[in-house]
Chains A and B, each alone.
Chain A
Amino acid sequence: MAYSTKVIDHYENPRNVGSFAKDDPTIATGMVGAPACGDVMKLQLKINDQGIIEDAKFKTYGCGSAIASSSLVTEWVKGKSIDEAALIKNTDIAQELALPPVKIHCSILAEDAIKAAIADYKQRHGN
């Protein structure tokens, strides 16, 4: 199966790979996994006190599409409020990366990672 040029670009030059310190109160961490393929994805958001995502980092162990989906998401969320970021849909990710049907679950994983990170933020900030 051939990867699209956008997937290959993100796979070969992933944006924002790495980790923030987990105990930093401005950092929210979302962890998700796909049992079917064993992929594991960590998305971290640096959120300021106005609820704006200032920075994002990811670490993904999985196929090219999973890496590209999470890399793309780190670019998309930067500068967005957490409410805006929560609106990012897996279909947007799949469309942007031209993912074939068998790789749609990679985009679902990336969407769920955003949701998990926001849930972590809200839990830590008590709302």
Chain B
Amino acid sequence: MNYFQLFHLPAQFELDLTELGTRYLELQRQFHPDKHAAGSERDKLMAVQQAANINDAYHSLKQPLLRAEHLLALRGLKISNEQRSFMEPAFLMQQMELRELLAEISDAADPDALIDEADQQIQQQKKALLRQLQSALDANNPEHDHQAADIIRKLKFFFKLQQELELIEQTQD
């Protein structure tokens, strides 16, 4: 299913989240199962199915990484659920160092300073990668699509780091 089509949005990475939200509410109203309660069994079933599709589509389009994965899948490059290991030594070494930085926080004399440092590094790298992802996807050709897939893989590590950092922050409070 093409989620962009379902939401009448252009199939591209850049997305107006306000517009997405508005379309979501419109579609939800249109296909709300209550509206089809008087219809045939088949109508009811279709409305339930469509309401589920609309929810799935909204959640995928809202998140940049899922949106990018969906865009690549529409172009014939499926990377969700892949189990392949990522093997770029320099990138992974940097991940290891950031993980080590996070591990130091709990014993640090000034944990807030380390949290800020880690947060800054993660946000900076995430921003840069998201920019690269945007231009790779905008190029819309197989070579750049493969680059985009690698950028998504890298971004996943950073989203995970961010989650870990948030957990640490919670335990610090």
Contact = CB atoms under 8 A, between A and B. Distances in A.
Contact of A38 (B93, B152, B159): B159
A32 B83 contact: no
Contacts of B50: none
A38 B161 contact: yes
A34 B92 CA distance: 10
A32 B84 CA distance: 10
Contacts of A120: 89
Nearest to A19: B96
B132 to A, nearest CB: 16
A61 interface: yes
A35 B156 contact: yes
Nearest to B65: A35
Contact of B86 (A29, A33, A42, A59): A33
Chain B CB within 10 Å — which of A29, A38, A113, A116 has the most?
A38
Chain A CB within 10 Å — which of B82, B87, B159, B164 has the most?
B87
Given A37-B160, A38-B157, A38-B161, A32 B85 contact: yes
B106 interface: no
A104 B99 CA distance: 23
Contact of B92 (A36, A37, A40, A105): A40
Interface of B: 81-83, 85-87, 89, 91-93, 95-96, 99, 152-154, 156-157, 159-161, 163-164
